[in-house]
Amino acid sequence: MEGFTHLIPFAAAHEVIRQGRRDLTLVRMTPDLIYDQMIGAGCAAKLVFSWGGNPGVGSLHRLRDAVEHGWPRPLALEEYSHAAMANAYDAGAARLPFAPFRGCPGDLARVNPNYRSVTCPFTGEAITAVPAMRPDVTIVHAQRADRQGNVMIEGITGVQKEAVLAAARAIVTVEEVVDTFDGGPVNSCILPHWTIGAIAVVPGGAFPSYAYGYYQRNNAFYLAWDGVSRSRDAFGAWIDEHVMQSGPDAFAVHAAQVA
Amino acid sequence: MEGFTHLIPFAAAHEVIRQGRRDLTLVRMTPDLIYDQMIGAGCAAKLVFSWGGNPGVGSLHRLRDAVEHGWPRPLALEEYSHAAMANAYDAGAARLPFAPFRGCPGDLARVNPNYRSVTCPFTGEAITAVPAMRPDVTIVHAQRADRQGNVMIEGITGVQKEAVLAAARAIVTVEEVVDTFDGGPVNSCILPHWTIGAIAVVPGGAFPSYAYGYYQRNNAFYLAWDGVSRSRDAFGAWIDEHVMQSGPDAFAVHAAQVA
Amino acid sequence: MRYTPDELMTVAAARCVGNDDVCFVGIGLPSAACNLARLTHAPEITLIYESGTIGARPSVLPLSIGDGELCATALTTVPVPEFFRYWLQSGRITAGFLGAAQIDRFANINTTVVGAYDAPVVRLPGAGGAPEMAAACQRTFIVMPQSRRAFVERLDFLTSLGHGDGGDHRARLGITTAGPAKVITDLCVMEPDPQTRELTVTSLHPGTARADVESATGWTVRFAPDVGDTPAPTAHELEVLRRVRLDTDKAHEGREPACPTR
Amino acid sequence: MRYTPDELMTVAAARCVGNDDVCFVGIGLPSAACNLARLTHAPEITLIYESGTIGARPSVLPLSIGDGELCATALTTVPVPEFFRYWLQSGRITAGFLGAAQIDRFANINTTVVGAYDAPVVRLPGAGGAPEMAAACQRTFIVMPQSRRAFVERLDFLTSLGHGDGGDHRARLGITTAGPAKVITDLCVMEPDPQTRELTVTSLHPGTARADVESATGWTVRFAPDVGDTPAPTAHELEVLRRVRLDTDKAHEGREPACPTR
């Protein structure tokens, strides 16, 4: 489930929680609130990530609770830097088995055996390598699909395109469906329909992150989440009310309010 | 001098010919008419390329004359496939020493010692590798620059961005200068001013190729070039009249005519 | 309705692809064939040109793979490195069309040079996108006129791999795609033998005799046990093809006086 | 004009960069500092956030590195893999700002974990863009409050390389960039010794004594022969900083009722 700050597929994550999925390996450069919720709800057995904080606010308390105290269950970590993960997605999309990049010496390579090295056959330099990222399923949120099922992403595109192209299957939630993308910028970020397995129309589905051109990031929610997520009880109550007793339609209000 | 069919910097090439440059190593995926002219004019000692034809028409006769008969001087070849060169530019822009890609077995690797192999440190697969492409100078043509010197390319962007970022220095010719790019698509292909050494305003400078949004490709010129370039004399007369006795202003008529 | 050999080849090539195909389209006959398919039986087909135009729907045939028409009608246009990395190398392209100056019995092709590489008799344009297309497209189709000069016992240069030395050679090289599925000439259609992968004539074009094929092939050509007849182009196919060709010729005459050469 | 330690740190950081700098900007104090520079002495400075926004000119400070404000005001926004490959790894970024939970005498930093990696006392957010930023930016500046808990003899985890074991260690590792050029704390400014690369106090903030620095540092801290005084923020700098902070707070209160938690 990618979406670099922008277009984070919260509605899809809530559906995963509601369906009671367990033992998932969650992959995301920035786990953000979306994985904090899924981890706290007990969906995850493993997290593959590169920066696990609440941006500009502080800790992800549910992530910390899982790592530090094993609550609600222990969480295995596979940890990279952003550069490593971005290159791994890129290699996944290109169907290369590994991604070479200029890594930084440090302890990450000590705790993650997926940091290896290749020797440049021309200069002899040792270049860091990580395996290509190839998720079983990638879920992203996008601004719009056309009637044929092509998907357009605009603004901060993060690693969404790479994550979709790297995955065995891809699911996309969108703000709306339009007739055609004709007349738009010719170099737009568009995923053709044959790269996508399923599309669900969920207006507001990226709340409290945002959809460029539709609604803004709700920074107040990110600030308030710090309080909600600090206590297991408050978190449980929040999930119960806003996820378990709710549904994808609840997101529509966010799309409408700030349009 | 890049520009994949689109935005080929002909005006800049003519200036290079007029200045009597010699012994150049010319790099370009598709030499096209631009290098046919420079080779025929005797500028080039070596050509690095991946497809040397007149698209949809046939041979580049000046290129063939140089390779087959050493006229006007012998031309060394360093030959790749498109995939190899595109990956090599990509690695150059990323400052990696080599580019790994899934190459195709064949004789290219036999005649070009720059085809080597790296072993994936995870799967053990042998992956083809070529050295990063790092030109001394890249020259491209673009639609527009803003007053700050940022450059925007729209339409078929080819390997222009990569070629600029891979080069030690970059020169750009543009159709026009605008005040600002504000209000354009947020994910446009823009090269910031600090990636570019010099900009020259040459309306029509891509003729007979084209500038998307400005003027169309002059396919008739490409068809007629077959006749002009077949004979050394006709070619010489053409270069004399249209390059040596001419100047960059001569391109402006092409920008105006089909706007 | 009468037709030329070129029209028959184009129509036969067009019939190789359908709505679900994602095609790597080269210029010339492949472009005509793919667009003919799009304008007749496969309106949903996806055409990709190596200039990075994905889902192009040109109204006239491009002279080059980078004509503005392709970009203007495409779903989107991506950088060329991205095209080769995310779209071709990834195996997402289901069908590719190739042409060649030389082909051998295992459908390996040469587009580089006639004669020795260092002292060529004819210097051809070279590889372009063909080698990785030959390796990464799920299936390829080779379209070229048949003659002893082109259908040779031994290539002067192996630019793009077909079935290698035959049999499971592709697989042994670690290549997972099917390789050349058909060779369409002006005389016949050839397909690789299921075991040996040697090209075998599977259908003869209307009016072609076995001897015509034999005399235009530089090796002892094999025929399938049940050689069929290539269906002739339909009137509709020919009409559509001729209309788009006519529109194209008009467009390519140019809006300006041609090459200013006196 | 009175000011807070945070304001002093922000102003001191802002003064490290100029018009020709291309800055990798992180969230929080670095973002405030870089935008302060842009709004005061360096109007032409280029700010790049790792979300891929190149040349961002936000009117309010973003809470996250991916706020819409950054994209809307940027020259362009590129995919994250492209950012890390073409823009950071290529060495095009001249200045980067880092913060940390722990730093050692050679300006190596830890943002990963306090305690053992497998049994952490405090799990920190992790690496993010920091390691490659530390390796690829031409110079880096580290900004963090000074305390014995943070300025440690030995890191629990080396997330991002500073000067390694000191001396020419970076160069021996094949890294060509200069590494940490300054550490700006709430007490002083430290710079690496030209030879040993050990952090050395080069200027004390107004009102700070040497003993204050010593008691807030987990190793025996060295002072340069000529320790200067950090210039206080000017009234103009403080005004601009406070105005942008005020605008930011207003914007972050949100347009909707906050987190719907009852």
Q: Which residue has the higher pLDDT, A255 or D54?
A: D54
Over 90: is that where the pLDDT of C13 sits? yes
Q: Which amino acid is at D193?
A: D
pLDDT at A5: 59
Query: With contact defined as beta carbons under 8 Å apart, do B130 and C24 qualify?
Result: no
pLDDT at B5: 59
pLDDT at C69: 78
Max distance between CA atoms of chain C, in angstroms, equals 59
Max distance between CA atoms of chain B, in angstroms, equals 60
Give B150's contacts in chain D (Cβ within 8 Å).
55, 75
Task: Work out the minimum CA distance from A234 to partner chain B, whole angstroms.
Answer: 40
Cα distance between residue D207 and residue B115, in whole Å = 64
Q: What is the residue-wise DSSP string for A32-47? A: HHHHHHHHHTT-EEEE
Q: Is the CB of C85 less than 8 angstroms away from the CB of A93?
A: yes
pLDDT at C72: 84
> Cα angle vertex B197, ends B192, B200, to 5°?
95
- Best of A138, A165, A179, A196 to substitute, by most chain C Cβ atoms within 10 angstroms, is A165
Q: Measured between alpha carbons, how far apart are the two ends of chain C, in Å?
A: 42
Q: Across chain B, what does the average pLDDT equal?
A: 93
Over 80: is that where the pLDDT of C260 sits? no
Q: Is the CB of A121 less than 8 angstroms away from the CB of B102?
A: no
Q: Is the CB of C112 less than 8 angstroms away from the CB of B29?
A: no
What would the pLDDT profile of B42-94 be if each residue is shown by its tens digit? 999 999 999 999 988 899 999 999 999 999 999 999 999 999 999 999 999 99
pLDDT band at A1 (very low <50, low <70, confident <90, very high): low
Chains touching C, CB cut-off 8 Å, 3+ pairs: A, B
Distances (CA, A) of D112 to A106, D66, D130, D229: 11, 21, 11, 33
Cα distance between residue C113 and residue D164, in whole Å = 54
B222: nearest CB among C63, C77, C261: C63
Q: Which residues, in sequence order, are CB contacts of D21 under 8 Å at separation 6+?
A: D42, D45, D46, D94, D95
The residue-averaged pLDDT of C219-234 equals 96
Q: What 3-state DSSP class applies to A188?
A: coil
Count CB pairs under 8 A between chains A and C: 45
Q: Which residue has the higher pLDDT, A250 or D206?
A: D206
Structure tokens at D75: 């020259």
The residue-averaged pLDDT of B91-99 equals 97
What would the pLDDT profile of B183-220 be if each residue is shown by its tens digit? 888 888 999 999 999 999 999 999 899 899 998 888 88
pLDDT band at B2 (very low <50, low <70, confident <90, very high): low
What would the pLDDT profile of A20-55 be if each residue is shown by its tens digit? 999 999 999 999 999 999 999 999 999 999 999 998
CA B70 to chain centre: 22
Structure tokens at D83: 């950012």
Q: Is the CB of C254 less than 8 angstroms away from the CB of B221?
A: yes
The residue in chain A having the minimum alpha-carbon distance to the alpha carbon of residue D32 is: A56
Is-catalytic flag, D50? yes
pLDDT at D69: 78
Cα distance between residue B171 and residue B1, in whole Å = 9
The residue in chain C having the minimum alpha-carbon distance to the alpha carbon of residue B68 is: C120
Nearest CA among B100, B171, D6, C154 for reference residue A90: B100
B122: nearest CB among A116, A120, A127: A116
pTM (predicted TM-score): 0.95
Q: Is the CB of A100 less than 8 angstroms away from the CB of B96?
A: yes
Distances (CA, A) of B169 to B138, B241, D22, D48, D176: 6, 31, 18, 22, 20
The residue-averaged pLDDT of A128-132 equals 98
Other beta carbons less than 10 A from residue D174's beta carbon = 12
Query: With contact defined as beta carbons under 8 Å apart, do A78 and A50 qualify?
Result: no
Task: Work out the minimum CA distance from B195 to partner chain C, whole angstroms.
Answer: 18
Query: With contact defined as beta carbons under 8 Å apart, do A52 and D126 qualify?
Result: yes
Give A192's contacts in chain C (Cβ within 8 Å).
22, 46, 54-55, 75
Q: What 3-state DSSP class applies to C210?
A: helix
Cα distance between residue B13 and residue B248, in whole Å = 10
Cα distance between residue B90 and residue B133, in whole Å = 8
Q: Is the CB of C75 less than 8 angstroms away from the CB of A150?
A: yes
Cα distance between residue D69 and residue D74, in whole Å = 8
Query: With contact defined as beta carbons under 8 Å apart, do C163 and C170 qualify?
Result: yes
Q: Which residues, in sequence order, are CB contacts of B223 under 8 Å at separation 6+?
A: B57, C63, C252, C258, C259
Cα distance between residue D79 and residue A93, in whole Å = 13
Other beta carbons less than 10 A from residue C58's beta carbon = 25
Over 70: is that where the pLDDT of B4 sits? no
Q: Is the CB of A187 less than 8 angstroms away from the CB of C72?
A: no
pLDDT at D62: 78
Task: Work out the minimum CA distance from C87 to partner chain B, whole angstroms.
Answer: 11
The residue-averaged pLDDT of A133-157 equals 94
Count CB pairs under 8 A between chains B and D: 45
Q: Across chain C, what does the average pLDDT equal?
A: 92
Give D59's contacts in chain B (Cβ within 8 Å).
none
Nearest CA among A14, A61, A19, A24 for reference residue A40: A61
Catalytic residue among D50, D69, D198, D237: D50
Structure tokens at A39: 């981890």
Q: What 3-state DSSP class applies to A76?
A: strand
Q: Which amino acid is at A96?
A: L
pLDDT at C62: 78
Count CB pairs under 8 A between chains B and C: 205
Identify the helix (H) or strand (E) that includes residue A54. Answer: strand A53-54
Query: With contact defined as beta carbons under 8 Å apart, do C184 and C142 qualify?
Result: yes
The parts of chain D modelled with pLDDT lower than 50 are 255-262
Structure tokens at A59: 């800790």
Query: With contact defined as beta carbons under 8 Å apart, do C89 and C132 qualify?
Result: yes
Over 70: is that where the pLDDT of C254 sits? no
Cα distance between residue D39 and residue D60, in whole Å = 11
pLDDT at D256: 40
Give B114's contacts in chain C (Cβ within 8 Å).
none
Identify the helix (H) or strand (E) that includes residue B108. Answer: helix B108-111
Task: Work out the minimum CA distance from A95 to partner chain C, whole angstroms.
Answer: 5
Query: With contact defined as beta carbons under 8 Å apart, do C120 and C113 qualify?
Result: yes
Structure tokens at D220: 């025996």
Phi, psi of C158 (to 5 degrees): -95, 100
Q: Is the CB of A186 less than 8 angstroms away from the CB of C74?
A: yes
Q: Please provide the size of chain D in residues.
A: 262
Cα distance between residue A29 and residue A159, in whole Å = 9
Chains touching B, CB cut-off 8 Å, 3+ pairs: A, C, D
As to burial, measured by CB atoms within 10 angstroms (0-12 exposed, 13-18 middle, 19+ buried), residue D206 is exposed
Q: Is the CB of B121 less than 8 angstroms away from the CB of A117?
A: yes
As to burial, measured by CB atoms within 10 angstroms (0-12 exposed, 13-18 middle, 19+ buried), residue A197 is middle
pLDDT at B1: 61
Q: Which amino acid is at C211?
A: A
**Strand D53-54 with D76-77, pairing:** antiparallel
Over 90: is that where the pLDDT of B6 sits? no
Nearest CA among B86, D9, D126, D147 for reference residue C131: B86
Query: Is omega for the bond preceding B72 within 30 degrees of 0, making it cis?
Result: yes
pLDDT band at B257 (very low <50, low <70, confident <90, very high): low
**Residue written as token pair 């914007």:** D251
D63: nearest CB among A56, A68, A254: A56
Cα distance between residue D173 and residue C215, in whole Å = 66
pLDDT at A257: 56
Q: Is the CB of A87 less than 8 angstroms away from the CB of D85?
A: yes
What would the pLDDT profile of A54-82 be if each residue is shown by its tens digit? 988 899 999 999 999 999 999 999 999 99
Judge whether C76 is closer than 8 Å to chain A, CB to CB: yes
pLDDT at D73: 87
Nearest CA among D221, D154, D161, D157 for reference residue D185: D221
Structure tokens at B130: 């070529």
Least confident of A165-179, C67-81, C200-214: C67-81
Query: With contact defined as beta carbons under 8 Å apart, do A78 and A112 qualify?
Result: yes
3-state helix, strand, coil in chain A (%, to 5): 35, 25, 40
Query: With contact defined as beta carbons under 8 Å apart, do B188 and C226 qualify?
Result: no
What would the pLDDT profile of C63-109 be if each residue is shown by its tens digit? 776 677 788 888 999 999 999 999 999 999 999 999 999 999 999 99
Q: Please provide the size of chain B in residues.
A: 259
Query: Between A32-40 and A232-239, two packed helices, what is the crossing angle to 10 degrees?
Result: 100
pLDDT at A7: 86
Query: With contact defined as beta carbons under 8 Å apart, do D149 and D121 qualify?
Result: no
**Strand A44-49 with A76-79, pairing:** parallel
Give A122's contacts in chain B (Cβ within 8 Å).
97-98, 114, 116, 129, 131
Phi, psi of B89 (to 5 degrees): -65, -45
pLDDT band at A259 (very low <50, low <70, confident <90, very high): very low
Other beta carbons less than 10 A from residue B257's beta carbon = 14
Judge whether C17 is closer than 8 Å to chain A, CB to CB: no
The residue-averaged pLDDT of C187-213 equals 97
